Amino acid sequence: MAHIDPPFEQVDEWDAIDETVRRLAVKRPGSTVMLWYPVKSGPPHEGRPEALRASLERARTKGAAVELVLRGGLLTPRPGAQPKVRGVMTGTGLLFVDAPHRALARLAAALPELGRSLARPEDGLGFELRWWSWG
């Protein structure tokens, strides 16, 4: 299993991530790959998870991705923080290639409770769950 958890501090990191995940998925079929990524608005992040999923589907891999995305509330950076890569983080995502079906089923079953547990209705803060699968 390859677990990829990039720091997302460089603008061009998505290019390396795309290449690495595709290469692992195609050259090592049957190997499980798990990628954590931030869900952020604006460049260089916006649209990149979707592009990677489409690329993996075109390569005829099997996979799934899930995102937990903030709805409502307000996300603000720490005072004085200077983010190295632009974009406001609005959620978190996991992408899997060739993950065991049972593990994905357990993850899917647990996610609604996770979203409810993290929500703060009194502050108008909630989460949207997004799930994709291919292959």
Please report, for the domain that includes residue 125, its CATH number.
3.40.50.150
Q: Is residue 126 part of a domain?
A: yes
The pLDDT assigned to 87 comes to: 66
- Residues 43-65: tens digit of each pLDDT: 888 899 999 999 999 999 999 99
The answer to whether 131 and 75 have CB atoms below 8 angstroms apart is no
Domain limits at 38? 2-71+86-134
pLDDT band at 75 (very low <50, low <70, confident <90, very high): low
Q: Which amino acid is at 38?
A: P
- Closest CA relative to residue 35, chosen from 24, 44, 27, 26: 24
pTM of the model: 0.84
Q: Is residue 76 part of a domain?
A: no
The answer to whether 10 and 68 have CB atoms below 8 angstroms apart is no
Count of domains observed in the chain: 1
Q: Is residue 81 part of a domain?
A: no
The answer to whether 123 and 73 have CB atoms below 8 angstroms apart is yes
- Residues 81-127: tens digit of each pLDDT: 555 555 678 889 999 999 999 999 999 999 999 988 988 888 778 88
**Phi-psi domain of 112 (left: phi exceeds 0; alpha: psi -120 through 50; beta: other):** alpha
